[in-house]
Structure 1
Amino acid sequence: MSNKTMAILAYVTIIGWVVAYLQYKKSSDRNPLVNYHLGQSLGLIILTFILGIVISIVVSIVPSLYFLSLILSVLSLVFLLLGVVAANNEVIKPLPIVGKLFEGKFNFVS
């Protein structure tokens, strides 16, 4: 599997992330592109999961705020697509708005 494919696969669900991570660990050349996108996608997955739980609690208390979950879903999808585009272009660039939060946080990936 090529480095570009592993970087793209990291953004495709948690199963895709696990497959990309295992392939990255198995490969002899540890490309910084794959390492970076593994960290960005893991951060996005964790952030989306945590915000999803928080939004669910808020919506259960105030049902009229249901649109917040829709906004979260759309933003999550947009960030995911931007990550895939960056990985496809082989660019090491953080995701907009939230990407700087994840840089250097997941050193276990390397």
Structure 2
Amino acid sequence: MDNKTLSIVSYITFIGWIIAYFVGKDKADDFLKYHLKQSLGLVIFSFIWVIILNILISVTGIGMLSILGLVNFILMIIGIINAANGVKKPLPIIGKMFEDKFAFIN
């Protein structure tokens, strides 16, 4: 697989990130590294976001808050589109936080 394909795969769940990381480990360029950082940041954000939403739903009893779970899906789609178009553009809201994190990816 080429780096563009691996960048796209990295956004498809945590398993996709693991596959993209280990398959592209030896031939990773800046483009793949950038999207690996963004997608790992998205995975971490998703875990935290789900926990926060579950707490809010439990406390308030408003089940309609679960619609906010789509934020993860929307960010994933935006990341896939960015990777498919070949641009290094941060994800909205959370992307800037993860651009300089995860030193092990360099």
Normalising to structure 2: TM-score of the pair? 0.93
Separation in 1, partners of 2:2, 2:13:
19
2:53 aligns with 55
Separation in 2, partners of 1:61, 1:74:
20
Give yes or no for the alignment of 1:90 onto 2:86.
Answer: yes
2:40 aligns with 42
Task: Write out the 4+ residue segments of structure 1 that deviate beyond 3 Å after TM superposition.
Answer: none
Which AA in structure 2 matches 1:14?
F
Aligned alpha-carbon RMSD (Å)? 1.1
> How big is the shift at 1:69?
2.3
Percent identical across equivalent pairs?
Answer: 42
2:21 aligns with 21
1:102 aligns with 98
2:65 aligns with 68
Normalising to structure 1: TM-score of the pair? 0.90
Q: Is the 8 A contact 1:52 1:69 kept in 2?
A: no
Partner deviation per Cα, 1:44-101 (whole Å, 9 max, x = no partner)? 111111111121112112112x222212x22111111110011001111101121111
Name structure 2 gaps, 5 residues minimum: none
> How big is the shift at 1:30?
2.4
